[in-house]
Chain A
Amino acid sequence: MARVPYVNREDLDAEGQQIYDRIRQDRGAPEVGFQFRALLNSPKAAGHLTSLGAQLRFQSSLPENLKELAIILTSREWNSAIEWSGHSVAAAKAGVSKTSIENIRTRRAPQGLTPQETVIARYVHQMLRDKVVSDEVFNAVQVMLGDQGVVDLTLTVAYYTAVALAQIALKPEMQPGRVSTL
C-alpha cells in the first residue's frame, strides 16, 4: 500500500472532480493512475503539478524522440518503475532504438547512444548528478534545440525528477496487471 490513501473521484468536491477528470483526459487514460490518486490528497497541488506535466509531455517544443529519451534517462536515474515502464514504450514508439533504451536501463548510457542522444544524456546526467552543466554540453543542446528547447528539456528533466521523487516519498504501486520493465 501507498503511504497515503488513494483518493477516489467520489471523495472529491466538484472542483476536485474536475481536476481528477482533467488528469485522466489529458493523458487519454482509461483511469487515473495510483501515483496521481496519492497526490490527489491535495487536489489543487496535484492539479497544478499535472497541468505542468501535460504541457511538457504533450505540447513540448522538443522532438518526440528526444523528449521521451530525456524522460527515460530521468526515470532510470531515480529508479521509477512506474515512469520507466510507461515511457520506455513511448520512447520506442517515438523512434528510440531498443539498443539505446537497453543501454539506458543498464546504466551504460551515454555509451551506445546516437550522437544526438548522447548530447541529451550528458545534459541529464550533469544536471542531476553534478548539479552543474558544462558550457560544452549546454551549448551543444542549445545549438540543437534553441532557447525554448533547452528550457523545455531542463523543465522536463526537473518535472520528471519531481514526479519520481514524489513516488519515492508516497510509495504508490503500479497499476494492477502492469509489470515493471525497469
Chain B
Amino acid sequence: MARVPYMKREDLAPEDQQHFDGIAGSRGRVGNNFAALLNSPEATGRLAAFGEYVRFHSEIPEPLKELAILCAAREANNPYVWTAHERLAREKGVADPVINAIRDRSAPAGLRGDDARVVRYAKELLTTHQVSDETFGAVQRLLGNQRTVELTLLTLYYSTLAHALQALKVDLPAGTTSTL
C-alpha cells in the first residue's frame, strides 16, 4: 500500500472534486499516482494541468517525448512511471534496443540521431546536472527555443512526478508488474 490514502472523488471536498474530474477527463481515469497526490488537491490539480500541457499539447515529436519520460523514470528509479511509459514508448514507435539502453543506463551509447540528442540532454540534466553547450545546442537546433523549453519542462515534470511517487510508494496499477 502507498504511504498515504488513495483519494476517491467522494473523499474530496465539493470544491476540490473539479481536480479529480479534470484528471479523469484528460487521462481517461484517475490512477493510483494522482489518487495519492490528491491528498493535496489544489497543488495536484495544478501539477496535472502542467503535465497535461507538456505531455499532450507540446508539439515535440511523440517518440522523443517518450524517450525523455523514460530517462526521468530511470533516474528516479520509479517503476510506476517507467512501466506505463515503456508500453507507450513502444506504441509510439520507440525500438526495444533504445528502451533497453535507457533501462540499463548505457544510453545514449548505441543511440543515433535525434534519439541520441534528446537522451543525452535528459541524462545530463538529470544525472550529472550539467548540460554542456554542445548538448544544449544540439537540442536547440533540433527543436527551436519554444520546444527546447518544453522538452526541458516535460523531462522535469516527469522527474517531479517520479520522485513524488517514489517517496509516497505509490503502487503500480492492479495486475501490472514492473518492467524497470
- Bound Cα distance from A52 to B47, whole angstroms: 6
> Contact string, A40-53, partner B, CB cutoff 8 A, digits 1/0?
01101110110110
> Contact string, B125-154, partner A, CB cutoff 8 A, digits 1/0?
110011100001000100001111110110
At the interface with chain A, which of B50-58, B89-97, B111-119?
A: B50-58
- Bound Cα distance from A159 to B46, whole angstroms: 12
Partner of B53, one of A44, A61, A148, A170: A44
A127-B167, A131-B163 as given contacts; A166 in contact with B40, CB under 8 Å: no
A151-B40, A165-B129, A170-B152 as given contacts; A48 in contact with B49, CB under 8 Å: yes
* CB of B164 closer than 8 Å to a CB of A: yes
- Bound Cα distance from A78 to B159, whole angstroms: 14
Partner of B57, one of A41, A44, A170: A44
Partner of B50, one of A48, A59, A128, A165: A48
Q: Are A166 and B39 in contact (CB under 8 A)?
A: no
> Contact string, B158-180, partner A, CB cutoff 8 A, digits 1/0?
01110110111000000000000
* CB of A133 closer than 8 Å to a CB of B: yes
Q: Are A38 and B42 in contact (CB under 8 A)?
A: no
Q: Are B145 and A5 in contact (CB under 8 A)?
A: yes
In the complex, chain A residues whose CB is within 8 Å of the CB of B53: 44-45, 48
Q: Are A165 and B126 in contact (CB under 8 A)?
A: yes
Q: 8 Å CB contacts to B: which residues of A35-71?
A: 38-39, 41-42, 44-46, 48-49, 51-52, 55-56, 59, 61
In the complex, chain B residues whose CB is within 8 Å of the CB of A128: 163
In the complex, chain A residues whose CB is within 8 Å of the CB of B58: 42, 45
* CB of A168 closer than 8 Å to a CB of B: yes
In the complex, chain B residues whose CB is within 8 Å of the CB of A169: 121, 125, 131, 136, 152
- Bound Cα distance from A162 to B147, whole angstroms: 17
* CB of A144 closer than 8 Å to a CB of B: no
- Bound Cα distance from A61 to B58, whole angstroms: 31
- Report how many residues on chain B are interfacial, defined by Cβ distance under 8 Å: 47
Q: What is the predominant secondary structure among interface residues of chain A facing chain B?
A: helix
- Report how many residues on chain A are interfacial, defined by Cβ distance under 8 Å: 45
Among B39, B76, B77, B160: residue with most chain A CB under 10 A: B160
Q: What is the predominant secondary structure among interface residues of chain B facing chain A?
A: helix
A52-B46, A52-B47, A165-B126 as given contacts; A154 in contact with B167, CB under 8 Å: yes
- Bound Cα distance from A145 to B135, whole angstroms: 41
In the complex, chain B residues whose CB is within 8 Å of the CB of A46: 149, 153
Q: Are A158 and B54 in contact (CB under 8 A)?
A: no
* CB of A147 closer than 8 Å to a CB of B: yes
Partner of A151, one of B50, B147, B168: B168
Q: Are A165 and B146 in contact (CB under 8 A)?
A: no
A168-B131, A169-B152 as given contacts; A155 in contact with B50, CB under 8 Å: no
In the complex, chain B residues whose CB is within 8 Å of the CB of A48: 46, 49-50, 53-54
B68 to chain A, nearest CB (A): 12
Q: Are B5 and A55 in contact (CB under 8 A)?
A: no
10 residue pairs, one from A and one from B, having the closest CB atoms: A48-B50, A162-B156, A158-B160, A52-B46, A151-B40, A42-B149, A41-B145, A147-B39, A151-B39, A41-B149
14 more A-B residue pairs beyond the given contacts A3-B140, A165-B129, with a C-beta to C-beta distance below 8 A: A4-B140, A5-B145, A42-B147, A42-B150, A55-B42, A55-B46, A128-B163, A132-B77, A138-B3, A158-B163, A158-B164, A161-B156, A162-B159, A169-B152
